[in-house]
Amino acid sequence: GKELDESVAVVQSRCDEDEFNVYRETVGFIMGEMLIKIMNPLYEKHPEIKPKGLKQNIWNRMNNV
**In angstroms, rounded to a whole number, what is the distance separating the alpha carbons of residues 65 and 50?**
18
pLDDT for the residue 2: 87
pLDDT in tens, 2-41: 899 999 999 999 999 999 999 999 999 999 999 999 999 9
Q: How would residue 56 be classed by pLDDT, with cut points 50, 70 and 90?
A: low
Total count of residues recorded for the chain: 65
Domain boundaries, the chain: 2-62
Tell me the whole-structure pTM to 2 decimals.
0.71
CA 17, distance to chain mean position in Å, is: 21
What digits encode the pLDDT tens for the residues 40-50?
A: 999 999 999 99
